[in-house]
Each structure stands twice: as structure tokens, then as C-alpha cells.
Amino acid sequence: MTITGTHLKPGVDGNLSVTPQSAGWTYLSFGVMTLDGASFEGNSGENEVALVPQSGRLSVHLGDEEHDLSRAGVFEELPTVVYLPPHTHYTVSGSGTFAHGGAPATGQHPARVIRPQDIKVEMRGGANATRQVSHLLGPDQLAERLLIYEVYTPSGNWSGWPPHRHDGWHGSLYIEETYHYRIQPEQGWAIHRNYSPEDAYDEALIARDGDLILSPRGYHPVAAAPGSNVYYLNFMAGEALGEARSTPPVDEPDWAWMRQDWGGKALTLPIPVMAKP
């Protein structure tokens, strides 16, 4: 795995891992693991943890229970998600790729399985800012800190728009966030921008299939290159607890008006040869 600031490339085995210590933040851990017929044994420790399959034939064992996590792929179907409270031992086995992430918790909610039919699917935005957001673990679902979404941004579209922030600035709640990208076709790409005008932080990153990008602070919109269909998995956690996880982020003032005009006052083409008298 290669780490360059907030941009992480998967290792040759396809695996990724981020801890609060390696990310330089407080709450959120995240990882991606690929199994090839082997088993992985884990324990949630002091965290609530969620397992999200991305592809392959996988199963998770919780005590005497076994749950099927198989998924044809992120562009083919919604996942079966497993939520684990702290101090829960689990085993994932099979052949495939799954994401896992967690945040500190006290154990208020039991282990459970969230099936595709239980996942709220929402269409957001409009015009070329249209995208699909699947609430794998939304604020209406039981968790202490975790929020998890899968976002689909079609070829040439934008998501995370208007640009918004949840880093404690301008009255927003402080919530950490990771973006794990899958892109179709594999040679496709997206642009991910992190920026905070208040402290001159500004980076534009090229996201490719399998990349992980952290959003440490500021605004963080995403644009899919034409011909590239973009999926990203968001794990989020911060100071918001329980129902407070539904607190909306704060939009960038210069672009908040677009919620009332998704067309964005688009230019009409072609430009006339001569202006009308």
C-alpha cells in the first residue's frame, strides 16, 4: 500500500488499511481486504464495526451463526451489511473483497444483518449533479457513531455537490470520512478535491479504481470523467452520536444556490456569430 498524504493506493494484494493514528484523526478506522479461499478472524475491540462486501462469494461467522455476504459486484447489486458491536469476534471466509470500518462505541446496539431490501436508496441532485446514494447505515438506522453510504456517480456527473463540509467549521459537526473508489471501466478515473479556503488547504486528486482518499477537512466534491462510471464507499464517524448523525453538513456559500437550480444557469450553445443589435 502506498500512502501519499490523503491518497492511498492499494497494495499488490488489493488491501488497504487506515487507523486514526495513520490518518492523523480521532475516530474512524477503515480497511479493504481480499480473500482467496482463506479466512480472516477479527475482533471489533473497542469499536462498533461494519462489514461491507464488494465482490465475490463470502460469508461471515458470528458464534454459531453464518451469514452469506456474496455479491456479484458493486455495479451489479446492493450488499448485505453486517453490523458488529464492540468486543465481537467474527470470521470472514471465502473468495472476494470486503470493506470493514469502525469507530469507538459503548455497545448500545446488538449485532445484526442489514439486507439489500432494508437499504434506503435515494436519488440526489439534478442535471449533471445527479447521483444515487444508498444508505447502508444511515442516521435512521441503529448505530452509535458510524455512517455508511455507497454513492454512484454516472459518466460526466458530479457528486458531493454543492460542496459541503462537516469538519467543525461554520457550525458544522466534526465528522471524519473515507472514500473508497471503484470505477467502471477499470482504466476510468474521477477528480476528488479537498479544500478549505480558511486555511489555504487545497488539493485535487485523481481517483482510480481501488484508490482510497481521505477527507480530513474542508469541502470535498467529486467529478466523474466522461466515460467513467464512479462508485465510492463512504465510511464516516465523528462527534455526532445516535440521532445527531442526521445533522446536515454546511454548504459552501458560493454554491449553495444550486440546490434551487441544478442546471446551474448552463450556457446555451452555439454562441451566436454576432450579438443582436
In three-state secondary structure terms, 161 is coil
* Cα(194)–Cα(97) distance, integer angstroms: 27
pLDDT computed for residue 168 by the predictor? 95
List, as one string, the DSSP characters of 100-138. Answer: EEEEE----S--EEE-GGGSEEEEES-GGG-EEEEEEE-
pLDDT computed for residue 5 by the predictor? 62
Burial class, 181, CB count within 10 angstroms (exposed 0-12 / middle 13-18 / buried 19+): buried
User: By percentage, how much of the chain surpasses pLDDT 90?
Assistant: 95
* Cα(151)–Cα(154) distance, integer angstroms: 10
Q: Over 80: is that where the pLDDT of 266 sits?
A: yes
**What's the pTM value of the predicted model, to 2 decimals?**
0.95
Q: Cell match 467529478: residue?
A: 223
C-alpha cell at 169: 467549521
Q: Over 80: is that where the pLDDT of 1 sits?
A: no
C-alpha cell at 204: 485535487
pLDDT in tens, 153-188: 999 999 999 999 999 999 999 999 999 999 999 999
pLDDT in tens, 85-130: 999 999 999 999 999 999 999 999 999 999 999 999 999 999 999 9
Confidence of residue 4 (pLDDT cuts 50, 70, 90): very low
